């Protein structure tokens, strides 16, 4: 484990996914950009064989876009109807041709992901030809039946709901520091969680939320009063992420388009008796003052699970990115101390993050790329869920490599003249390769960290 203390490899629970600007920022006018779409009442000769909305375009939008582009969701305009979609035809063409939409950043050559969002080249071409032909409607009889989008919980009716105790007043504009709220679970016994979901009440202003579990005995945010919003103290550690408290568990996150956490039958996450939920919420004003009172819903496992799911990470907290460096490499790794399976990946960096790669190195020396994100975009917090979990025998290494762009040509760079180290603020950096491990629910978690003497934070688990 490259000589770092064991705890440096656990979830840095102090991670604040500090994002200075939002993916859902108010840079989008309420009206669409001008397009060259022609009137549809008089289709030109050339558009006769062109794709139509009803027949060709709507199915693509239903499958790939409406999850975010419908009222109440994160996308800045709705694609449910022809009338709503048509003015955006040209912008849609550009967005799919440049790969900006749908927001999915995995290099398709590596790994298969159950939550992948991407268009085939034929689908991209259909959208492009449709826009070029003046965005014809076609025969309404060709329209596919509308998708019955579930309003409300994607996990089904939760067994328990934890709501932010008070609504947050989001102003019309400005930058809002990350907000935290501690909500006690009230659990008097250990509970296994089969599914969990966070739902904002106003999605337009919620950039992302993470619900962490704080176990009893953890010092993380000790002294902060439960039930009220607070901002994290501005800790800046010298060499390492702050590891003074017990590791906390990443329960579930919300980000636009992110599916809720629904574990496979027989799998569950553990929340110990007496734990608290700590919400971290990133609000991004959207042009009008509003309020949000997000909720976490959880469904308990109906019987004790066979397997436990735990989010850990390969973290490097000791890098020093030189001023102006355009392509600075940072590595991290985690060696699994027991036979486990790997089910999901979630790279995390800030605005200087450029690319991120996960590899697996088997004890035999055989190595394989699990995920490559060649153009990392910190405005999107994607999880990459493996279509089939991968078996990692004891001694397998999860290897991560990231590059950072600290040059002036990176528009997300807060200050290219500065040496950049680990930190919580958006002008600092992070290098975290989160991943989900799946293992025998009866296995003590200490087994995952065999070369650790007495990992206090895990000893009681
Ligand atoms: C995961 C959610 C999500 C999905 C899926 C998604 N979008 Fe978006 N889209 C957004 C958000 C959020 C924005 C506004 C922020 C931004 O532009 O990054 C946006 C913006 C856009 C814009 C405006 C871009 C601009 O440059 O102003 C277009 C056009 C667009 N999306 C088209 C699409 C199309 C076409 C699809 C399907 C192929 C799609 N989107 C799928 C969330 C999504």
In whole angstroms, what separates CA 434 from the centre of its chain?
A: 11
The answer to whether the beta carbons of residues 97 and 180 sit under 8 Å apart is no
Tokens at residue 408, please?
């002036």
Q: 379-433 pLDDT, tens per residue?
A: 888 899 999 999 999 999 999 999 999 999 999 998 999 999 987 666 789 899 9
Who has greater pLDDT, 240 or 446?
Answer: 446
Are 165 and 113 contained in the same domain? no
Are 133 and 204 contained in the same domain? no
Are 208 and 330 contained in the same domain? yes
Greatest Cα-to-Cα distance within the chain, rounded to the nearest angstrom? 77
Q: 25-70 pLDDT, tens per residue?
A: 333 434 455 444 444 444 444 445 899 999 999 999 999 999 889 9
Residue with tokens 């022809």: 82
Task: Examine residue 429 and state whether it is found in any structural domain, yes or no.
Answer: yes
Tokens at residue 100, please?
């900006």
Q: 224-269 pLDDT, tens per residue?
A: 999 999 987 765 444 344 333 335 578 998 987 677 889 989 999 9
Distance from C-alpha of 356 to C-alpha of 105, rounded to nearest angstrom: 10
Q: How far is the CA of 110 from the centre of ligand 1 (A)?
A: 24
Q: Give the nearest ligand 1 atom to 119 CA.
A: 38
Question: Last residue of a domain, which of 87, 109, 142?
Answer: 142
Q: Coil, strand or helix: which one is 207?
A: strand
Nearest CA to ligand 1 atom 12: 75
169, with CB counted inside 10 A (0-12, 13-18, 19+), is: exposed
Task: Examine residue 1 and state whether it is found in any structural domain, yes or no.
Answer: no
Are 123 and 198 contained in the same domain? no
Q: Which residues line ligand 1 (CB under 6 A)?
A: 23-24, 28, 64-65, 67-69, 74-76, 88, 91-92, 95-96, 101-103, 117, 119, 256-257
Reported in sequence order, the residue ranges of 405-461 that DSSP labels E, i.e. its strands, are 432-440
Q: What is the mean pLDDT of the chain?
A: 84
Q: Give the nearest ligand 1 atom to 104 CA.
A: 1
Distance from C-alpha of 417 to C-alpha of 352, rounded to nearest angstrom: 13
Q: Coil, strand or helix: which one is 87?
A: helix
Q: How far is the CA of 180 from the centre of ligand 1 (A)?
A: 28
Are 252 and 367 contained in the same domain? yes
Threshold 0.75, pTM exceeds: yes
Strand-pairing partners, residue 269, are 193
The answer to whether the beta carbons of residues 131 and 95 sit under 8 Å apart is no
My answer on whether omega of the bond before 102 falls inside 30° of 0, hence cis, is yes
Q: 326-357 pLDDT, tens per residue?
A: 999 999 999 999 999 999 999 989 889 999 99
Closest CA to 186 of 289, 112, 269, 274: 274
Q: Which domain holds residue 194?
A: 6-19+151-459
For ligand 1, mutation pick of 61, 101, 200 (most atoms within 8 Å of CB) = 101
Looking at the structure of the chain, the number of domains it has is 2
**Secondary structure of the chain: what % helix, strand, coil (to 5)?**
15, 30, 55
Name residues whose C-beta falls within 8 Å of residue 157's C-beta, 6 or more positions apart in sequence.
Answer: none
Are 78 and 183 contained in the same domain? no
Residue with tokens 């979630």: 346
Are 353 and 438 contained in the same domain? yes
Tokens at residue 366, please?
């055989």
CATH number of residue 401's parent domain: 2.60.120.230
In this predicted structure, the answer to whether residue 206 has a pLDDT above a threshold of 50 is yes
């Amino acid at each position: 484990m490259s000589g770092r203390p064991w705890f440096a490899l656990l979830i840095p629970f102090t991670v604040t996914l500090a994002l200075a600007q939002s993916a859902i920022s108010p840079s989008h006018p309420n009206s669409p950009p001008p397009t060259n779409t022609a009137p549809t009442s008089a289709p030109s000769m050339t558009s006769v064989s062109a794709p139509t909305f009803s027949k060709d375009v709507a199915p693509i939008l239903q499958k790939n876009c409406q999850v975010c582009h419908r009222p109440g969701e994160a996308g800045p305009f709705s694609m449910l109807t022809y009338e709503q979609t048509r003015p955006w035809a040209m912008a849609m063409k550009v967005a799919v041709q440049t790969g900006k939409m749908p927001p999915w950043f995995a290099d398709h050559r590596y790994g298969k992901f159950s939550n992948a969002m991407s268009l085939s080249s034929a689908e991209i071409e259909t959208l492009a030809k449709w826009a070029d032909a003046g965005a014809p409607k076609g025969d309404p009889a060709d329209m596919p039946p509308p998708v019955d989008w579930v309003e409300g919980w994607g996990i089904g009716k939760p067994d328990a709901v934890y709501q932010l105790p008070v609504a947050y007043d989001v102003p019309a504009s400005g930058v809002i520091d990350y907000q935290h709220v501690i909500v006690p679970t009230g659990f008097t016994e250990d509970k296994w969680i089969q599914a969990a979901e966070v739902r904002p009440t106003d999605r337009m202003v919620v950039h992302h939320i993470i619900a962490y579990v704080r176990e009893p005995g953890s010092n993380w945010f000790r002294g902060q009063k439960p039930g009220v919003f607070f901002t994290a103290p501005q800790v800046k550690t010298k060499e390492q992420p702050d590891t003074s408290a017990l590791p906390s568990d990443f329960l579930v996150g919300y980000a636009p388009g992110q599916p809720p956490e629904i574990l496979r039958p027989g799998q569950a996450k553990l929340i110990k008796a007496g734990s608290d939920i700590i919400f971290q919420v990133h609000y991004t004003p959207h042009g009008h003052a509003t309020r949000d009172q997000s909720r976490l819903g959880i469904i308990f496992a109906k019987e004790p699970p066979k397997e436990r799911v735990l989010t850990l990470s390969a973290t490097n907290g000791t890098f020093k990115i030189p001023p102006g460096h355009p392509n600075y490499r940072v590595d991290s790794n985690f060696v699994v101390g027991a036979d486990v399976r790997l089910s999901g990946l979630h790279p995390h960096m800030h605005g200087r993050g450029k690319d991120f790669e996960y590899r697996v190195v088997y004890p035999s020396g055989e190595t394989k790329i699990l995920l490559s994100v060649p153009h990392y975009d910190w405005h999107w917090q994607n999880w990459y869920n493996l279509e089939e979990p991968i078996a990692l025998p004891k001694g397998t290494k999860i290897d991560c490599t990231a590059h950072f762009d600290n040059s002036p040509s990176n528009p997300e760079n807060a200050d290219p003249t500065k040496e950049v180290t680990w930190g919580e603020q958006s002008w600092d950096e992070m290098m975290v390769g989160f991943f989900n491990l799946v293992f025998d629910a009866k296995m003590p978690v200490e087994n995952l960290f065999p070369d650790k003497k007495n990992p206090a934070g895990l000893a009681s688990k």
